[in-house]
Amino acid sequence: MELQTISKVSEYFNVSTRTLRYYEKIGLLKSLRMDDYAYRVYDGCAILRLEQILILRKLQIPLKDIKRILTGGDTAEAMDIFIGKVNSLSAEINAMETIRKILSGLINQLKKNLEIKVDQLLLADESVISMIDSIAKTRPDLKEKVKMDNLNKAEKDASKLNDVRIVYLPPAEVASVQFYCEEPEWKATAAIDKFARLIELGKVKPDTRHYGFNNPNPSPDIPEGQPDHGYEMWVTIPEGIEVPEPIVKKKFDGGMYAAHVIKMGGFHEWGWLWEWVQKSEVYDYDVREPLSMGGCLEEHLNYLNNLNDPGFKEEDMQLDLLMPVKKKSK
């Protein structure tokens, strides 16, 4: 199989180049570098490995467990991971079945006596209360599917977001840095982290917030061999503080956003959040600055704690995906 560029692999598998680079960074995927060619290419073995990763991701196996399965080669360890996932899904399915039975029972009781008050029904039936107390907080039912032609549907069913929050981000002055290169996220992170430590950001701005976004966005029109996107990163700072080059100061207008939390590497969930906003009966997408992502931001949660924690691992990072919204006009 001929070598494939990162942009072609990204397009074929519908996975972002950022995700591909992250898989490589954590040791899940390997690329090659051709002579006189600065950017990643993938051989047949890497393509096969990526297919395996994406299948396991569709089965909702966490990245850290995928790494154990694919790099360890231990059948017993893989079985333990799969058994653990099956047990977790079985618990969720059982809990959802309990909820279904409770709701069906309540429907039947209400049908028998349309005069009864709902609060009296719930408080009077000790068996209902007992069942409700036993229910763990879970996600919707995920039926077991093993054929590849069912995996996409199963993933889509599992991707229905139920944790979207509507948040207000306050206006702020920010320290901003932007890079346009092969790995702009990591270079922007290094520059912002260095700046934050230099000015002791945790002391001068203990409520600081940390945002990032593509700038410019990936584009199929970018010539082969050039960086496929850039990345800009911000931290909120006290007004009047000086910033060293290449960092610059900017104003962030803030506003209302739909927020969905992910773990590092889950950038495909941007599509899920977009779908949630599109289907919302209350909110519309509100395109605003910065325009490179239409106002969408990625917020590194607990940034200052993670910055000062020597044991912090990037794969444990939590991010809020933030999409600007406004109330629908009546």
CATH at residue 251: 3.20.80.10
Assess if residue 92 is contained within a domain.
no
Assess if residue 201 is contained within a domain.
yes
H/E segment holding residue 123: helix 118-124
Of 31-35, 179-183, 187-191, the one with minimum mean pLDDT is 31-35
Query: Greater confidence, 110 or 278?
Result: 278
* Nearest partner of 29 among 13, 45, 10, judged by Cα: 45
**One-letter identity of residue 188:** A
Distance CA 29, CA 40 (A): 11
- At 154 the three-state DSSP class reads helix
Largest Cα span, the chain: 81
DSSP assignment letter at 252: E
Query: Greater confidence, 137 or 48?
Result: 48
Assess if residue 122 is contained within a domain.
no
Task: State the pLDDT at residue 147.
Answer: 52
Beta strands in 104-186, from DSSP E residues, in sequence order: 165-169, 172-180
Per-residue pLDDT averaged across 218-239, rounded? Answer: 83
H/E segment holding residue 250: strand 248-252
The model carries a pTM of 0.75
Assess if residue 213 is contained within a domain.
yes
DSSP assignment letter at 289: S
Assess if residue 64 is contained within a domain.
no
Assess if residue 89 is contained within a domain.
no
Task: State the pLDDT at residue 146.
Answer: 43
* Nearest partner of 277 among 260, 264, 293, 290, judged by Cα: 260
Task: State the pLDDT at residue 153.
Answer: 60
Q: How many structural domains is the chain composed of?
A: 1
Task: State the pLDDT at residue 218.
Answer: 79
Query: Greater confidence, 148 or 210?
Result: 210
What is the extent of the structural domain holding 227? 165-327
Task: Provide, rounded to the nearest whole percent, the portion of the chain with pLDDT above 70.
Answer: 82
Assess if residue 141 is contained within a domain.
no
Assess if residue 256 is contained within a domain.
yes
DSSP assignment letter at 265: T
Per-residue pLDDT averaged across 257-269, rounded? Answer: 92
